[in-house]
Amino acid sequence: MAWRGWAQRGWGCGQAWTPPAGGRSYEELTAALAPSRLLRRRFNFFIQQKCGFRKAPRKVEPRRSDTSSEAYKRSALIPPVEETAFYPSPYPIRTLVKPLFFTVGFTGCAFGSAAIWQYESLKSRVQSYFDGIKADWLDSIRPQKEGDFRKEINKWWNNLSDGQRTVTGIIAANVFVFCLWRVPSLQRTMIRYFTSNPASKVLCSPMLLSTFSHFSLFHMAANMYVLWSFSSSIVNILGQEQFMAVYLSAGVISNFVSYVCKVATGRYGPSLGASGAIMTVLAAVCTKIPEGRLAIIFLPMFTFTAGNALKAIIAMDTAGMILGWKFFDHAAHLGGALFGIWYITYGHELIWKNREPLVKIWHEMRTNSPKKGGGPK
Catalytic annotation present for 89: no
Annotated active-site residue in 333, 348, 363, 369: 333
How confident is the prediction for the chain on average, in pLDDT?
78
Can you give the three-state secondary structure of the chain, one letter per residue? CHHHHHHHHHHCCCCCCCCCCCCCCHHHHHHHHCCCHHHHHHHHHHHHHHCCCCCCCCCCCCCCCCCCHHHHCCCCCCCCCCCCCCCCCCCHHHHCHHHHHHHHHHHHHHHHHHHHHHHHHHHHHHHHHHHHHHHHHHHHHCCCCCCCHHHHHHHHHHHCCHHHHHHHHHHHHHHHHHHHHCCHHHHHHHHHHCCECCCCCCCCHHHHHHHHCCCCHHHHHHHHHHHHHHHHHHHHHHCHHHHHHHHHHHHHHHHHHHHHHHHHHCCCCCECCCHHHHHHHHHHHHHHCCCCEEEECCEEEEEEEHHHHHHHHHHHHHHHHHHCCCCCCHHHHHHHHHHHHHHHHHHHHHCHHHCHHHHHHHHHHHHHCCCCCCCCC
Annotated active-site residue in 200, 214, 275, 330: 275
Kindly list the averaged pLDDT for each block of 10 residues, start to end, along the chain of length 377: 45 48 53 49 44 48 42 55 53 84 96 93 76 57 60 82 91 95 92 92 93 92 93 93 95 95 88 93 93 79 86 92 84 94 93 91 82 50
The reported pLDDT for the residue numbered 123 is 83
Q: pTM surpassing 0.75?
A: no
Catalytic annotation present for 275: yes
